[in-house]
Amino acid sequence: MSEATALRSTQKVIFLNPSESPVGARKFEVTCSSCNLREICLPAGLDHDDLQRIEQVVYARRRVKRGDALFNAGDVFNSMYAIRSGFFKTSLLDGEGREQVTGFFMGGELLGMDGVGAGHYNGAAIALEDSEVCVMPFSLVEDISREVPALQRHLHAVLAREIVRDHGVMLLLGSMRAEERLAAFLLNLSKRFTRRGYSPLDFHLRMTREEIGSYLGLKLETVSRLFSKFQEDGLIEVQQKHVRIRDNAGMEQLLTTRH
């Protein structure tokens, strides 16, 4: 792809979405090769040339304040986003304004894939703490992935991984009881924190009980009761948003034992 094409693509992004401001968005600030999330974000075993070309897809960074939307359902789709730091929830609004949280996302994970192909995002992404994302204009991603098969494969893998993740949530919502859902949720968070170098046994929940409940298909009171029950059973210690896992094996057993 020519540099001219790249510029055209990126400018389109700027003008269509004013909030993607050029402030702090100069390309030379961004390098994937030096990003500490590189191993999570990018495929392994890239040679220097490929890596350099893949870095072109990251056009800019953007800060999102806690409570603000990275994008809303229905917004024109231009870009996918990689989370550099922070924490997001994604959600849908059903017909009557009820919210369904479809996922929680942390550093190194991608957002916005649900907009590919449709021209607009299907759901919203809201920051649960002050966050920063890498902006990847999708037309650029497509252009470069035609030239760099490693990026093409990675893009497909990323989209498919989201499908697999969603199927996991469907399994959770469709066939687990409340207890199992919360255990699965906590263990999943724990695993993802580990990968990012945080403690797997001691972490801070960024979301409210209501958001957890929405994600798990439960009411907030049920979630609260379960936290208390897990604590009584010696599985965890909870204090508001702070969770400490005391009996990891016990939690896993909750998931593998029928009733």
Partner DNA sequence: CGCGCTGTTGAAACTTGTCAAAGTTTGTGG
Partner DNA sequence: CCACAAACTTTGACAAGTTTCAACAGCGCG
Can you read off the two tokens belonging to residue 13? 């992004």
CA distance 157 to 220: 34
Q: Output the CA angle 139-78-138, nearest 5 degrees.
A: 30
Select the binding partner of residue 179 from a second copy, DNA, none (C-beta < 5 to 8 A, by kind): DNA
Considering only 77, 88, 185, 227, the residue that binds DNA (CB under 7 A) is 227
Q: Fill in the per-residue mask, 138 to 177: x = in contact with DNA (CB under 7 A), - = not in contact.
A: ---------------------------------------x
CA distance 101 to 48: 39
Is 193 a binding residue for DNA by CB under 7 A? The answer is: no
Give whole-number Cα distances, 141 to 1, 9, 49, 119, 249, in Å.
11, 10, 16, 15, 42
3-state helix, strand, coil in the chain (%, to 5): 45, 25, 30
- Is the Cβ of residue 167 or residue 196 nearer to a second copy in the bound state? 167
Stretch that binds DNA, among 17-25, 94-102, 145-153, 219-227 (CB under 7 A): 219-227
Select the binding partner of residue 23 from DNA, a second copy, none (C-beta < 5 to 8 A, by kind): none
CA distance 246 to 38: 31
Number of residues that bind DNA (CB under 7 A): 23
CA distance 61 to 257: 45
Residue 153 C-beta: closest distance to DNA, Å: 39
Task: Report which of 211, 214, 207 is spatially closest to residue 66, judged by C-alpha positions.
Answer: 207
Considering only 102, 131, 190, 222, the residue that binds a second copy (CB under 8 A) is 102
CA distance 250 to 259: 14
Considering only 4, 23, 44, 118, the residue that binds a second copy (CB under 8 A) is 118
Is 166 a binding residue for a second copy by CB under 8 A? The answer is: yes
Task: Decide: 213 and 182 in contact? Cβ < 8 Å.
Answer: no
- Is the Cβ of residue 23 or residue 118 nearer to a second copy in the bound state? 118
Stretch that binds a second copy, among 1-9, 12-20, 26-34, 167-175 (CB under 8 A): 167-175
Is 113 a binding residue for a second copy by CB under 8 A? The answer is: yes
Is 153 a binding residue for a second copy by CB under 8 A? The answer is: yes
Task: Report which of 135, 136, 256 is spatially closest to residue 184, judged by C-alpha positions.
Answer: 256
Under the rule (CB under 8 A), what is the footprint of a second copy? 92, 94-96, 98, 100-102, 113-118, 122-123, 142, 145-147, 149, 152-153, 155-164, 166-167, 169-171, 173-176, 214-217, 255-256, 258
